[in-house]
Amino acid sequence: MIDTHAHLSSRFGEEIKIEGLDYVVLAASCVQDSKDNLELAKINKKLLPAIGIHPMEINDDFATLEKMFDNRVVAIGECGLDYSEFPDRATDSFAVLAAKQEKLFRLQIAMSQKVNRPLIVHSRQASEEIIEILREYKNLSGVIHCYSGGKKRIKKYLDLPGEWYFGIDGNLTYEIGLEEVVKNIPKDRLILETDSPYLTPVPFRGEKNCPEYVKHVYQKVSEIWQMSWETTEKIIDENARKLFKIV
């Protein structure tokens, strides 16, 4: 089992629960997280660091991030667009924010191409804008983290140049609509995440999430696919290994 998206930097507490997992991809929301991820990777080989800046952290310094790259980094992100705090798009403040987010996103896309690492894309209430931007680039690959684009956008992502995966989280265990989405994602493009410490799956909903709980998401997918646990795990882990180039 591989948790392909967890936040384990020190600001979320000390304890790291990864028993039974082969790997955990450490997502980064800011420069500080990125530094923490690189440190964590030194103490445990199962922890694979990503470095990146979340769209809500637009004042973070990209130049600092870029200098932090080393060969251990498995992905760039999470990065992308997040319009959730701006329901009214007809304002000047929205235009300013959107422009800043787009600039930061494009810098990280360019970095992903340059260093040949996949992107971890955060998309919140901005699916169409994300698709438009990604369409402009060739040779990209990555994951649409915590996929929330619904059934109808799956094909749009699959039609993009490059290879795109869908990251599904613990909310699959309690959001009925997501089951339909998972049924429509090609089996070779699905990877699973916890987004720890957020999005805790049933039966631990309401508590703090941890990478070990990704097994409840695997379990749910094996039920939806009507496949054995072993086959489900094999397919999903192969996808994760391919995307993040885990050998």
Q: Contact positions toward Zn ion, by CB under 5 A?
A: 27, 195
DSSP reduced 3-state for 8: coil
CB 4 within 8 A of CB 191: yes
Rank residues 192 and 222 by Cβ distance to Zn ion and give the closer one: 192
Rank residues 33 and 233 by Cβ distance to Zn ion and give the closer one: 33
CB of 7 to Zn ion, least distance (A): 6
Rank residues 182 and 199 by Cβ distance to Zn ion and give the closer one: 199
CB of 146 to Zn ion, least distance (A): 7
- Edge-to-edge order in the sheet of strand 141-145: 2-6, 23-26, 47-51, 75-82, 119-124, 141-145, 163-168, 190-192
CB 124 within 8 A of CB 79: no
Amino acid letter for position 130: I
Both structure tokens of 18:
């990864």
CB of 142 to Zn ion, least distance (A): 14
CB of 229 to Zn ion, least distance (A): 26
Q: Residues 124-145, buried b or exposed e (16+ Cβ, 10 A)?
A: bebbebbbebbeebeebbbbbb
Rank residues 26 and 154 by Cβ distance to Zn ion and give the closer one: 26
Rank residues 27 and 134 by Cβ distance to Zn ion and give the closer one: 27
* Residue 65, phi then psi, degrees to nearest 5: -60, -45
CB of 167 to Zn ion, least distance (A): 9
